[in-house]
Amino acid sequence: MSEPATVPVPLARAGFGGALMGLANLVPGVSGGTMLLATGLYPQFIAAVAEVTRLRLRPRALVLLATIVLAAAIAVLSLAGPVRDLVVHRRWIMYSLFIGLTLGGVPIVWRLLRPASAGVWAGCVFGIGLMVATLFVQPSGAGSGDAARIAFFLGGLAGASAMILPGVSGGYLLLVLGQYVPILGAVDLFKQALLGGGDGGGPDLALAMRAASILVPVGLGVLAGVLGVSNLLEWLLERFRKPTLGALLGLLLGAVLGLWPFQRSVAPEMGQVWRGVRVTPATLPQIDPEDYPLERFAPSAGQVAASLMLIAAGFGVTLVIGRVGVSREASR
């Protein structure tokens, strides 16, 4: 796996692939690994990660990783706020798109594991069962104190490990863990802190510390995932390739179970105690809309049609990107 990292990669392509990877990590259903595969960077990226984790610090691998990571970070900082607002205020639209984007990864993984074996189907059942289990343990929030820090660390760990493999969406895992919107909000808050809270008066340390209370444990989880889980996944793929890919397929198929699109945020009722606060006309504005409870609603015929179109569009986007990546890998 170390040889591909020695192949020179134009920095412009590395930057473009990194930006797509960052955008993918904001969108549940899209895999950062798929974006790198589509831009022809996946083998070099995995090889470079493996070299760095083994302390083989070759300049070419370091430059490649630095370019990809920097471009991904810029994309995340720039787009986290808009994507978060769309999820909070246009949930059924975004969830419909996420379903399509998620299912679009299924053909990508299927091509990797053909022909199917008993191990594939066993892994697939395990992956689906794992996603079903997340529906019953999905929290309404991350909690507070040490519990919140542990939850965000585990979220970063899951997101980083999912980011390594094409077809698995780290954003989706964060979504079902109840951490997607809080983490995006923290990223946007950190951007505001760097810009002086919007008043142009220099960096806002108080805002930065609020954001850091979420982003630091998430960042540590991402680091642990990249350094540890990625190597574990590489080991599993080398020794138990079919069952591992089968579990990956099961995760994708089970992923859509938590993305029922026709639900919306509703403000807590007056007098209700919501997350330890009694709702009054004075306290309601203090509750962030991302923390509002969700309720299902009966969609109109137009909404159903629009949802199906968005699902088809999302499926097509991931499928086309995956086919481009496969074609480029075949040409290599």
Of residues 105 and 79, the one with the higher pLDDT is 79
CA atoms within a 13 Å half-sphere pointing along the CA-CB vector of 212: 8
DSSP for 59-104 reads HHHHHHHHHHHHHHHHHHHHHHHHHHHHHHHSHHHHHHHHHHHHHT
Does the pLDDT at position 219 exceed 80?
A: yes
What's the length of the chain? 332
Question: CB-based burial of residue 63 (10 Å sphere; 0-12 exposed, 13-18 middle, 19+ buried)?
Answer: middle
Q: How confident is the model at residue 300, as a pLDDT?
A: 93
Tokens of 299: 């969609």
Q: What pLDDT is recorded for position 52?
A: 82
pLDDT at 5: 44
**pLDDT of 330 strictly over 60:** no
State the Cα–Cα distance between residues 193 and 5, nearest whole angstrom. Answer: 36
Question: What whole-number distance in Å separates Cα of residue 295 and Cα of residue 317?
Answer: 29
Q: Residue 7: its pLDDT value, please?
A: 45
Amino acid 285: pLDDT:
79
- pLDDT of 4: 44
Query: pLDDT tens digit string along 139-198?
Result: 444 555 667 778 888 888 877 766 666 656 677 677 767 777 788 888 888 888 887 755
Residue 295: CA count within 13 A, CB half-sphere = 6
Query: Looking at per-residue confidence, does 7 or 236 come out higher?
Result: 236
Amino acid at 28: P
Closest CA to 114 of 246, 240, 255: 246
Q: What is the pLDDT of residue 311?
A: 93
The least confident of 62-66, 294-298, 304-308 is 294-298
Question: What count of other Cβ atoms lies within 10 Å of the Cβ of residue 276?
Answer: 6
- Nearest in space to 242 (alpha carbons), one of 119, 127, 129, 110: 119
* pLDDT for res 301: 93
pLDDT in tens, 8-62: 556 777 888 888 888 777 776 566 776 776 666 776 787 788 788 777 888 888 8
Handedness of CA 62, 67, 68, 70 (dihedral sign): positive
Mean pLDDT over residues 297-324, rounded? 86
How much of the chain exceeds pLDDT 90, in percent? Answer: 7
Return the higher-pLDDT residue of 122 and 290: 122
| pLDDT of res. 305 | 96
pLDDT tier at 238, thresholds 50, 70, 90: confident
Looking at the chain, the whole-number percentage of residues with pLDDT higher than 70 is 77
Element (H, E) at 326: helix 301-331
- pTM comes to 0.64
| Separation CA 61–CA 13 (nearest Å) | 15
Residue 1 in this model has a pLDDT that exceeds 50: no
What is the pLDDT confidence band of residue 326, given thresholds at 50, 70 and 90? Answer: low
Cα separation, 266 vs 225, in Å, equals 35
CA 121/CA 280 separation, integer angstroms: 52
pLDDT of amino acid 103: 81
